[in-house]
A and B are shown apart, each in its own frame.
Chain A
């Protein structure tokens, strides 16, 4: 049995992990997808294969980890929609809510997290937000409907929604595609994310677009207030990541995003130590937040 695996985990570090779980209200017994082990045991298994210093780093980073479940989505959606500029709402004649999906993913026909959100946004959350009172709000599956059914729109506000923004690349691609093929002069638009990396938001704004999020996240090590010796922290993380079977693009999280986030699906922007399932010697890696599905 896996739980009998004798590891190198001190009583002290078990206690530190216990405090983190308690402070974040994480369910200790919730099974990890694809594993018989509960989340708490999986975390301990992960820590037990790390050196003492590596354990310290992961415990420190985990203090800043954000774990969002589907149950959290409506509250996050409410808080992100509340950040949409009131003047933009007031000046709009109609508001459209659409999923934020890159053209590549659209062509592949993949179901993306963005598709989950327009329906509850329009039917559950927005009706309770006074900021949107009296507005005609329509959720659409695809941008093409803007040109077919709503080609005569005037001063429309278009909200592109997604659960997470990492580097901002997807959002920029989606907006470039929108501007090229679907937008009209009087349209204004905002990206609404539940959670976003700060750097992603900045990148989007550098392209002249606006993005809001309920929770804006800093980089796990580079921007950490808890970690003073950042150089050593990076060395330790490099040391761990060398033992993982991940492409260079994902070291430090996709394009070095250094994210510490789990949404319904863990974004690849998160440090791979949390989601990668294989170690470089082809053995399983005990990831507490694996990226399930494709």
Chain B
């Protein structure tokens, strides 16, 4: 999980995005701060003129072994444990990412 959080963090820095997707994964801001420090320490990111930016090592990290070139990050929070083939998983409405609309 922490490896995948690191990769998501690098993607967010690459896209100059907000930290919302890490918060959605259940991380506290302080944990994000620690993750940033780890990424800095391990030389995946650096302080540039306009803020944090990826290093070559960071760019490689998000590309490595990824058919999509590191463009897409798995939605860890949507994963569920595997269930038997005869069961159907129905997410709770409040957890659904789809908007529920009444039929016209």
Contacts and interface: CB of A to CB of B under 8 A. Distances in A.
A29 interface: yes
Given A6-B23, A12-B51, A17 B30 contact: no
B36 A10 contact: no
A8 B18 contact: yes
B7 interface: no
A45 B26 CA distance: 15
B12 A11 contact: yes
A11 B32 contact: yes
- Interface hub of B13, B17, B18, B36 (most chain A Cβ within 10 A): B18
Interface in B16-38: 16-20, 23-24, 26, 28-30, 32-33, 36-37
B9 interface: yes
Given A5-B23, A6-B23, A7-B23, A14 B29 contact: yes
A6 B28 contact: no
Interface string B26-67: 101110110011000000000000011000000000000000
A41 B32 CA distance: 11
A103 interface: no
Main secondary structure of the interface of B (DSSP, over half): helix
A45 B32 CA distance: 13
User: By CB atoms of chain B within 10 A, which of A11, A40, A44 has the most?
Assistant: A11
A15 to B, nearest CB: 5
A7 B32 contact: no
A11 B30 contact: no
A interface secondary structure, majority: helix
Contact of A29 (B17, B30, B37): B30
B13 A12 contact: yes
A11 B9 contact: yes
Contacts of B19: 7, 9-11, 14
Nearest to B29: A44
A207 to B, nearest CB: 46
B50 to A, nearest CB: 8
Given A7-B23, A14-B36, A28 B16 contact: no
A21 B30 CA distance: 11
Contacts of B36: 11, 14-15, 18
Contacts of A283: none
Interface in A1-58: 3-12, 14-18, 21, 28-29, 38, 40-41, 44-45
Contacts of A17: 33
Given A12-B13, A12-B51, A41-B28, A7 B33 contact: no
Interface of B: 9, 12-13, 16-20, 23-24, 26, 28-30, 32-33, 36-37, 51-52
